[in-house]
Structure 1
Amino acid sequence: MQTAAEAQTQFARTDSIEPLVGLVAGDMKAVNELIIERTGSDVTLIPEVAAHLIDSGGKRLRPMLTLACAQMFGYRGDGHVKLAASVEFMHTATLLHDDVVDESELRRGKAAARMVWGNEASVLVGDFLLGQAFRMMVEVASLPALEVLSRAAAVIAEGEVMQLKTAHELETSEARYMAVIEAKTAALFASAAEVGAIVAGKGEAEREALRTYGHELGLAFQLIDDALDYSGVQAELGKRVGDDFRDGKITLPVLIAYWKGDDDEKSFWRTAMREGNQTDRDLSRAIDLMARHGALEETVARANAHGATAQEALMRLPETPHREALLDVVGFCVNRRF
C-alpha cells in the first residue's frame, strides 16, 4: 500500500509556489503596506494583536490568488490590491476566531493570540479586521466584488457553526464533513480568485472558471491539512501533530478509519474523540488505525482529485504565465508538507 507521501508525489506538475510569488511580488508589496496601514489604531492592543498573527510567516496564498487572477487579464488599477488585503483580513479574522473556538495554543509555530492577550481581545480584534476588510471593499466600488466577498464571510461563519454541531460526532456523513470544509476553507479560496476576474471586468465564463478553481483548490488544501495533522512534523506544521485529534475534530481521515473499523476500533474512536483527554498512546493508536485502513492515503487521493478539477477549470482560460503559475499552485498545495 502507498504511503500518504507517495500518493502526494504522484500529482502532476511542479509543487512550486515561486512562479506565483514572482509574478505578484510588486503588488504584494503594496498589499503588505496597505495591511500595515489599515491595522493602525489609537487603541494600541489592536495593532499588537493583528501584527502578532499577520507577521507570523503565513504565505498569504489567498491574496496572491486575487492579484494573479486580476493580472491575468491585464488589470491596471489598484482595486485588486484593496481586494487582496480584504481577503487577507478576512482570513486573519477567521484564524483569530478559530483559535478561540478551538482553544488552540499555537498558530504558525507561535503562541496563539488568545494565549497572549486572551479570548476577548482575539475576538474583538478579529471583528476590527473584518470591519476594515469591508471598508476596503466599499472603496473599490465594485458591487459584484462586494457581493462575492460578503457572501463568503457569511458562509465562513455558517461553516464554523456547522463544525461546532459536528464536533465529536463520529456519525457525521461525508457529505456533512465536505459541507463544513466547503464553507470554512473553500469559500474564501473561491471568492479570492473570482474577485480578481471581477475587478478586471471579465464576464461570467472567466468568473466561473476561477471560482471553480479556487473552490477545488481550497478543498484540496483542507484535505491535505487534515491528513498532515496525523502525519506531519510539528516544527513544519506550526502546531502540534495530533491537535485535531486532541480537539475531537471530525475530519475525513478519522471518518474513514471509523467507518472501516471493527466494533473494538469504533469503541476506541468514540471514547477518544468524545472525552477529549487523550494520551500520546491514544494518538499513536489513532495513527496506527489510520494506517491499517489507508485513511491518510484515501484522504490524499481525494485531495488529488479536487486538485485535478481545479487545474481543469483553469485550462478553460487563455494560456498566460499567470495561468501556468496558478496550475503549479495546485501541486504546491497537494504536495506540501506543512
Structure 2
Amino acid sequence: MILIRPIQVTDFDALVDIAKASGHGFTSLPVDEALLKNRIKSSIQAFNLDINTQPNLHFNHTPAHYLFVAEDTDTKLIVGTSAIDAAVGLSDPFYHYRLSKIVHSSHALNVYKVVELLTLCNDYTGATEIGSLFLMPEYRQGLNGKLLSKFRFLFMAEHRNRFSDRIFAEMRGICDEDGHSPFWRWLQDNFFQIDFPTADYLSGIGNKAFIAELMPQLPIYVNLLSKKAQAVMGKVHEQTLPALKLLQHEGFSYRGYIDIFDAGPTVEAELNHIRSVRSSLKLAVEITDQQDDLSQAELCLLVNTQVKNFRATLHSVVTDKAAGKVYLPSKLASYLKLTEKDSCRILLL
C-alpha cells in the first residue's frame, strides 16, 4: 500500500535520491543538500503551524510550504513526493511570462496586424501552487499517480483557511536529455549568457536576483523569437503530459501564462471548482473487521482531517452515505491514524 504523509527529517536521504532521479527542469527539487534540508525544515514548520489558535495567521501572509512523501508500507521505501505552497511570491518575487496580443493597424495603408507579446509579470503572487510531484519510475503504475496528485485537493478542501482560492501548477516544459531548452536558448543568446541547467538550478535554490537584473523588462514580440523557441511555448515535457491531463480532468485550464525558463504552461483553477473538492465527502469513521458484504466496497481515496499527522491512501471500503459513515478495517484505520471519534474525507474513484 502507498501511504501519503508529511515529510520527516529521517526522509532526507530519500529526498536526495528523488531530486537526483527527477532530472533537469524539476526546479522545485534541485540537487542541493543544504536546500533540501531547509525544505524539510520549512515543511515541518508549516505542518506545525496552528492557524486556528493564531487568527492573525493566514495564507495571505504565511508562505507555508507543505512537502509530502509517498511511502510503500511493505518496503518502507519513499517512492515519491508532492507539495503545496500556500502562497507564492511573498518573500521572493514569483515570475511568469503572460502571453497577450497587440494590434498594429493603419487605415491609410490598409494594414492590420495582430502580434503576440510576452510580458514579465508577478500575477500569481499570493496564489497557492501545487508542485514537486514526482513518482519513482518503478511505481508509475495503477492509480499511484492519481493518488499523489488528488490527495492535495482533499487536504486543501479540509483546511481551506491555509490556502488561496486560486490554485495553480507550473507544468514542466520541453528540454532535451542534456537539459537544454529551445526557449531558454534564445534568451541565453540575447540576454543571459548562462545555460538552462544553470539558470534552472539557481532559481531552484532561491537565487532569483539574476532574473530581475538580466531579464528584458519590456514586452518581447513573439515573432522575434527563434522558430524553435516559438514551437515549444506552452508545450509540456512528455513525462509531464499525464500530470497535465489529470489536472485538466480536475478542471484546471491554461490562461496564457508560461514559465520564464522553459516556456512550459501554467494551469489554474478555483479551489471550489476543482472536481475532487466538489466530489469529496466527509464521513464519520466506524472501525470494524466484521465486514460481511465486501461486494459493496468501493475504491476510495481516503484522507484523515489532521494536519501534522496527515495521512492519505487508496483502499476499497464500505460506505453508508445516507448514514454519513465509512467502515474501515482496524489496520487501515491505524495507518490513517483514525479512531471512531474521527471523521474521514473520501473521494470515490
- Higher relative contact order, structure no. (Cα contacts within 8 Å, ≥ 6 residues apart): 1
Q: How does the TM-score come out when normalised to structure 2?
A: 0.29
Which one has a bigger Cα radius of gyration?
2
Q: How does the TM-score come out when normalised to structure 1?
A: 0.30
